[in-house]
Amino acid sequence: MLPAKQGDYAYLLHIVRSLKATGTGACILPHGVLFRGNAETEIRRNLVRRGYIAGLIGLPANLFYGTGIPTCIIVVDKKDAQARKGIFMIDASGGFMKDDLKNRLRADDIHKIVDYLCPSDKAA
């Protein structure tokens, strides 16, 4: 059951429920969803046990308008979820530049994330 005061997992669970059996999705959430206790611990535990969470990408604080808190991207992949043995984790929280009042990901920082997620065949 979702906690009454924190609706963050409602978005994530909606994405999980809406995906087809082989679907992939992602959700940007406050970084705190990775650590909160009580009901959210059980939700996280069940998502991990089912293999739905493929990866976590930690983002810097002050990246989005309207909030200065750090955020994360939770990558959900239902394809072969039961066979999943681990979760990839990328700490992109240090890869940014100050741009007036906000932080911005630089092109190189974005490429590092994308290159990890989608390695090219150039080395072959």
Confidence band for 124, pLDDT divided at 50, 70 and 90 = very low
**Residue 101: inside a domain:** yes
- Say if 31 falls within a structural domain: yes
HSE-CB for 46 with a 13 A CA cutoff: 11
| 44 falls within a domain | yes
74 inside domain: yes
State pLDDT tens for residues 36-74. Answer: 888 889 999 999 999 999 999 999 888 888 888 999 999
Residue 97's pLDDT is 79
The answer to whether residue 3 sits within a structural domain is no
pLDDT of residue 13: 92
Print burial letters for 99-117: b (CB count within 10 Å at least 16), e (below 16): eeeebebeeebeeebeeee
Is 106 within the bounds of a domain? yes
Within-domain flag for 1 = no
Q: Report the percentage of the chain scoring pLDDT > 90.
A: 46
Residue 81: inside a domain, yes or no?
Answer: yes
CA distance 38 to 7: 14
The tokens describing 12, both together, are 């994530």
Q: Which domain holds residue 54?
A: 8-117
Contacts of 18 (CB under 8 A, 6+ apart): 25
CA distances from 6 to 2, 19, 33, 40, 109 (A): 8, 23, 9, 9, 30
Confidence of residue 122 (pLDDT cuts 50, 70, 90): low
Q: Is beta strand 97-99 parallel, antiparallel or unpaired with respect to 88-91?
A: unpaired
State the CATH number of the domain containing residue 93.
Answer: 3.40.50.150
Domain count across the chain: 1
pLDDT for 21: 95
Coil, strand, or helix at residue 3? coil
Contact 97, 75 (CB under 8 A): no
